Amino acid sequence: MEGTRMRRIAFVGNYLPRQCGIATFTTDLCEAVAAAAPEATCFAIPINDRPEGYAYPPRVWFEIPEEDLTAYRRAAEFLNINDVDVVCLQHEYGIFGGPAGSHVLTLVRELRMPVVTTLHTILQEPGDEQRAVLEELAALSDRLVVMTQRGKEFLQTIYGVPESKIDVIPHGIPDVPFVDPNFYKDRFGVEGKTVLLTFGLLSRNKGIEYVIEALPAVLERHPEVVYIVLGATHPHVRQREGESYRLFLQRRVRELGIEAHVIFHNRFVSLEELVEFIGATDIYLTPYLNREQITSGTLAYTVGCGKAVISTPYWHAEELLANGRGMLVPFRDAQAIAEAVNWLLDHETERHAMRKRAYLYGRQMVWPEVARRYLESFARARARGTTRTRVAIPTLNQRPGDLPVLKLDHLKRLTDDTGILQHATYTVPNYDEGYTTDDNARALIVAVLLEELGGKTATEAPELATRYLAFLWHAFNPETGRFRNFLDYNRNWLEAVGSEDSHARALWGLGYVVGRSRRPGLWKLASRLFEAALPAALRFSNPRAWAFTILGIQEYLRRFYGDRTAQQARRKLGDRLFKHYQKHRQDDWCWFEDRLTYANARLPQALLMAGKWVGRQQWVEAGLEALRWLVQVQLDEQGYFAPIGNDGFYTRGQRRPYFDQQPIEACATVSACLEAFRITNDSSWYREAQRAFDWFLGRNRLGLALYDPLTGGCCDGLQPNGVNENQGAESTLAFLMALLEMKLAEAYLPLQQKGVEPRAAETLQPAG
């Protein structure tokens, strides 16, 4: 048909030799479409989950590092400039960077050609972030491809996608003949055996242990059976927990005494090898544990190859194995698996009839047929025309500034078995200065934000968070109810009680763990410590200590939103902060004190948050007024962010100091402006956050960058004659915190501009 004649088709998704199901699918689809449309040039843009990438074939023209938001924009520019006719995007939350894989939206928003998106996961009960990402992706895509009727129903009923926009195209499979399993068995040394097979990348949701538990009952009636577990451990699982699942399975095999009947083939096999393994199979098993699996490539392959299949009733299996094309057994039921295997082996005629039904059904899923249907979908997308109008290379006023790639080298260099060291001489940790609770609390927040951001960097978060939380646990003195602050390198506390600020910052960090971490071992300990330390904060007299405590309470209430003690503490401290503002405010001095000192923006940020969630509009208005005034005070004549210098600070009626400018001021301003943005839905606050963040990158009074991209660290301040080249903990953590908050916020900017309700603490369900 005329509409299928395209010059260039781009496929975006993981790609072989990366080892995952999406990579296999994208590669096979690209090759199948290239064969079906030889007049078109088909190429791929894969997502990399490791810095060095992969040894890709010539079809790969451009690569996107998973966490590099800038690379998504550059990929969009590359596609626009190269006059691509249609982009075929493979979507799975876990393969893109950002919360719920939101970085992919940055790519799709800037594309000028039609986009056809294949959805590999469609959640029945999505989280807020997952729903927001999928809804915007659906709106930006010209066509959506799902592989099952259930997926189509979910898109319509849960996500509100019109039926006219959805194409149902099954998972592609290789076109192989209907063969006797004995033809291939000698290749694997299992001739004369009855072969059971499970294949795919290993992870704990595969349920293989239930097949192993079923084998003794099977072998009692069919001693010729051998069970092959084919596939390497999923690379991300191996990175997190090594081969613990495989070792657990092997240990259970030995305990049951069935070692002679189980083969573990620990390798990611090629398609040619896989077809031979499937060919040698008598019964294929998918004992998956999760019902919410909308597609399974392994199941599609085996059905299409004409195999007798036994599966748990996850969504794809229910649909694919209907009408006698396979057998379903309950989840986590070894006895039911044994009974099903024995029945199929006892009833050979019925087993072969099942195989034939599956094989005939699978003819509609072979790759040439699937490629033809994708080309029809592409043609429909092009006929519809895209309403997106973007120039090939947007100017800076048409999109947010590029954010640096997250680099944790210097953070890890400053961190040892005790916690994070306070200072560095240039980039070398300074042991003489020891540690502080202040810095470990900040570092704990950074670790939690790393976890929330997701992607590859999230794997660093648990170890770092555990170390910093352990420091706070050690710093707390239950006899006084207070945190100590300074610890020397020999692990001696240098004071009995730390400052009010350090105590409040510790509560701030603990609140982040309680409210945002998904790891019970962390948030349960943090909640105990938070509850023990909160009473002391109500006796403090320092407004910044009140502010940091409010910020901590706000995070804590994300999980324990019904905690009346915390709610009352927030109300009491918010009222104090508001009255303090009323006492000192003048028409020309909209501030909480007669002096601007350090971490200034945390005061209006805390009042804003407390006012929003306590329901005090006066507090919100006061917080916005104070922040707006502070933003204006912190501008120089060039329009750059210029925080109050700590060389004397700024007293009302006196000359303001411009140096030394500190990174914590930029970080605090970023956080406060982003909070104002979330509360007001006014994008001018987002631009102010950008202005403050750009200070780190050189948009400042001296035109010098404080962020060091080689180390991932941040210089300690901006002085009259240049930067302070030491990269201490406070400065590095200020940069990382600001960067992480900007990355997390960027995903929601377009949603809010469309009028979507911003994410906020009390609108979230309890975490975990």
249 and 139 within one domain: no
d(CA 748, CA 751): 5
Sequence-separated contacts (24+) of 457-465 with Cβ below 8 Å = 457/67, 457/406, 457/408, 459/236, 459/239, 459/240, 460/408, 460/412, 462/519, 462/522, 464/411, 464/412, 464/415, 465/513, 465/517, 465/519, 465/522
Give kind and range of the element (H or E) at residue 587.
Answer: none
Contact 549, 577 (CB under 8 A): no
pLDDT tier for residue 766 given thresholds of 50, 70 and 90: very low
358 and 454 within one domain: no
Task: Report the DSSP beta bridge partners of residue 483.
Answer: 476
d(CA 235, CA 95): 13
At residue 597's C-alpha, the angle toward residues 596 and 598, to 5°, is 130
Domain boundary among 351, 385, 419: 385
Task: Report the DSSP beta bridge partners of residue 623.
Answer: none
On whether residue 394 sits in a domain, the answer given is no
Give kind and range of the element (H or E) at residue 588.
Answer: none
On whether residue 402 sits in a domain, the answer given is no
234 and 135 within one domain: no
152 and 24 within one domain: yes
Contact 651, 597 (CB under 8 A): no
Question: Are β-strands 283-286 and 421-425 bridged in parallel, bridged antiparallel, or unpaired?
Answer: unpaired
92 and 59 within one domain: yes
Least confident segment among 383-387, 417-421, 600-604: 383-387
Residue 2 has pLDDT above 70, yes or no: no
310 and 438 within one domain: no
On whether residue 177 sits in a domain, the answer given is no
528 and 550 within one domain: yes
Residue 144 has pLDDT above 80, yes or no: yes
On whether residue 734 sits in a domain, the answer given is yes
On whether residue 396 sits in a domain, the answer given is no
Tokens of 519: 């790891």
Residue 87 has pLDDT above 80, yes or no: yes
On whether residue 146 sits in a domain, the answer given is yes
pLDDT tier for residue 392 given thresholds of 50, 70 and 90: very low
Give kind and range of the element (H or E) at residue 88.
Answer: strand 86-91
On whether residue 392 sits in a domain, the answer given is no
Give kind and range of the element (H or E) at residue 179.
Answer: none
d(CA 232, CA 239): 13
Nearest to 85 by CA among 169, 2, 168, 4: 4
First CA to last CA across the chain, in angstroms? 51
User: What is the predicted pLDDT for the residue at 177?
Assistant: 81
Tokens of 578: 């508001």
More confident residue, 435 or 292: 435
Sequence-separated contacts (24+) of 496-502 with Cβ below 8 Å = 498/437, 500/537, 500/540, 500/541, 500/542, 500/545, 501/438, 501/542, 501/544, 501/545, 501/548, 502/436, 502/437, 502/438, 502/441
Those residues whose C-beta lies under 8 Å from the C-beta of residue 675, and which sit 6 or more positions away, are 605, 608, 609
189 and 88 within one domain: no
pLDDT tier for residue 456 given thresholds of 50, 70 and 90: low
User: What is the predicted pLDDT for the residue at 455?
Assistant: 66
Kindly tell me the burial class for residue 16, based on how many C-beta atoms sit within 10 Å of its own C-beta (0-12, 13-18, 19 or more).
buried
Least confident segment among 39-43, 125-129, 603-607, 661-665: 125-129
Average pLDDT of the residues in 662-670: 97
Task: Report the DSSP beta bridge partners of residue 196.
Answer: 227, 283
Tell me what percent of the residues of the chain surpass a pLDDT of 70: 94
188 and 64 within one domain: no
- pLDDT tens-digit profile of 10-55? 999 999 999 888 999 999 999 999 999 999 999 999 999 888 899 9
Task: Report the DSSP beta bridge partners of residue 596.
Answer: 650
On whether residue 731 sits in a domain, the answer given is yes
User: Which residue range(s) make up the domain with 49?
Assistant: 2-171+368-385
CA distances from 721 to 477, 658, 661, 703 (A): 43, 12, 12, 12
More confident residue, 44 or 4: 44
pLDDT tier for residue 761 given thresholds of 50, 70 and 90: very low
Task: Report the DSSP beta bridge partners of residue 87.
Answer: 10, 115
Greatest mean pLDDT range, 251-260, 385-394, 729-738: 729-738
d(CA 716, CA 724): 5
Least confident segment among 318-322, 497-501, 519-523, 738-742: 318-322
Tokens of 52: 């060095």
214 and 255 within one domain: yes
Residue 765 has pLDDT above 50, yes or no: no
User: What is the predicted pLDDT for the residue at 573?
Assistant: 98
User: What is the predicted pLDDT for the residue at 764?
Assistant: 29
Residue 758 has pLDDT above 50, yes or no: no
Tokens of 300: 């599609």
d(CA 614, CA 570): 8
Least confident segment among 244-258, 427-441, 480-494: 244-258
CA distances from 390 to 49, 83, 109, 749 (A): 29, 13, 9, 18
331 and 293 within one domain: yes
List the CATH number of the domain containing 354: 3.40.50.2000
pLDDT tier for residue 503 given thresholds of 50, 70 and 90: very high
Tell me what percent of the residues of the chain surpass a pLDDT of 90: 71
Contact 440, 509 (CB under 8 A): yes
Average pLDDT of the residues in 234-245: 77
Average pLDDT of the residues in 102-107: 92
The mean pLDDT of the chain is 90
Least confident segment among 162-166, 173-177, 221-225: 173-177
Nearest to 760 by CA among 627, 620, 590: 620
Residue 706 has pLDDT above 70, yes or no: yes
* Alpha carbon of residue 763 to chain centroid: 20
Within 13 Å and on the Cβ side, how many CA atoms surround 421? Answer: 22
d(CA 468, CA 475): 11
List the CATH number of the domain containing 521: 1.50.10.10
User: What is the predicted pLDDT for the residue at 768?
Assistant: 28
Helix H, strand E, coil C: the string for 229-297 is EECCECHHHHHHHCCHHHHHHHHHHHHHCCHHHEEEECCCCCHHHHHHHHHCCCEEEECCCCCCCCCCH
d(CA 545, CA 499): 9
Q: Is 112 helix (H, G, I), strand (E, B) or coil?
A: coil
Q: How many residues does the chain have?
A: 768
User: What is the predicted pLDDT for the residue at 99?
Assistant: 82
Nearest to 390 by CA among 11, 76, 754: 76
233 and 164 within one domain: no
Other C-beta atoms within 10 Å of 420: how many? 29
d(CA 335, CA 329): 9
Q: Is 575 helix (H, G, I), strand (E, B) or coil?
A: helix
pLDDT tier for residue 240 given thresholds of 50, 70 and 90: confident
Residue 183 has pLDDT above 90, yes or no: no
Q: Give me the number of domains the chain comprises.
A: 3
- pLDDT tens-digit profile of 325-372? 999 999 999 999 999 999 999 999 999 999 999 989 888 999 999 999
Contact 382, 87 (CB under 8 A): no
User: What is the predicted pLDDT for the residue at 386?
Assistant: 54
pLDDT tier for residue 767 given thresholds of 50, 70 and 90: very low
Residue 488 has pLDDT above 50, yes or no: yes
Residue 206 has pLDDT above 80, yes or no: yes
The dihedral through the CA atoms of 95, 96, 100, 105 has a sign that is negative
Residue 143 has pLDDT above 60, yes or no: yes
